[in-house]
């Protein structure tokens, strides 16, 4: 759980990053992520919201930047979710980190 994250600021940053997301959807996602993301990545989330350089937080063999590289992505929210999942359950988290991304068509 992210205790010091302002939901409105988080929702605004989400909506800025995902241009097609509605205000309601970004507010719902922000609330969900505040409740589910591991508190150890709070500093990275705060930096992302502010538009600052995101620190590369790591746990065991994975970090935010490594997850972005593995997934060939620049989606920090997804990396935050995957790293949080890995912190909570390394076996399942690692499977999700390496799971192929489905393309939208």
Instruction: Give a yes or no: residue 105 inside a domain.
Output: no
Q: Show Cβ contacts of residue 92 under 8 Å, excluding neighbours closer than 6 positions.
A: 85
Q: Return mean pLDDT, the chain.
A: 93
Whole-angstrom distance, CA of residue 8 vs CA of residue 85: 24
Per-residue pLDDT at 66: 97
* Residue 78: pLDDT over 80: yes
Helix axes 7-17, 42-50, angle to 10 degrees: 60
Instruction: Give a yes or no: residue 2 inside a domain.
Output: no
Instruction: Give a yes or no: residue 63 inside a domain.
Output: yes
Mean pLDDT for 81-100 is 95
Instruction: Give a yes or no: residue 58 inside a domain.
Output: yes
Whole-angstrom distance, CA of residue 49 vs CA of residue 17: 10
Instruction: Give a yes or no: residue 59 inside a domain.
Output: yes
Continuous H helices in 1-105 = 7-17, 23-36, 42-50, 64-70, 76-88, 90-98
Give this prediction's pTM. Answer: 0.90
Instruction: Give a yes or no: residue 1 inside a domain.
Output: no
Q: How many domains does the chain have?
A: 1
Structural domain range at position 32:
7-98
Per-residue pLDDT at 102: 67
């Amino acid at each position: 759980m992210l205790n010091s994250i302002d939901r409105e600021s988080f929702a605004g940053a989400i909506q800025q990053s995902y241009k097609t997301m509605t205000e309601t959807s970004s507010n719902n996602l922000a609330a969900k992520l505040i409740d589910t993301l591991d508190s150890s990545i709070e500093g990275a989330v705060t930096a992302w919201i502010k538009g600052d350089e995101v620190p590369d937080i790591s746990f065991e063999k994975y970090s935010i930047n490594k997850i972005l590289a593995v997934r060939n992505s620049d989606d920090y929210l997804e990396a935050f979710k995957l790293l949080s999942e890995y912190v909570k359950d390394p076996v399942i988290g690692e499977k999700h980190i390496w799971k192929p991304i489905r393309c939208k068509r």
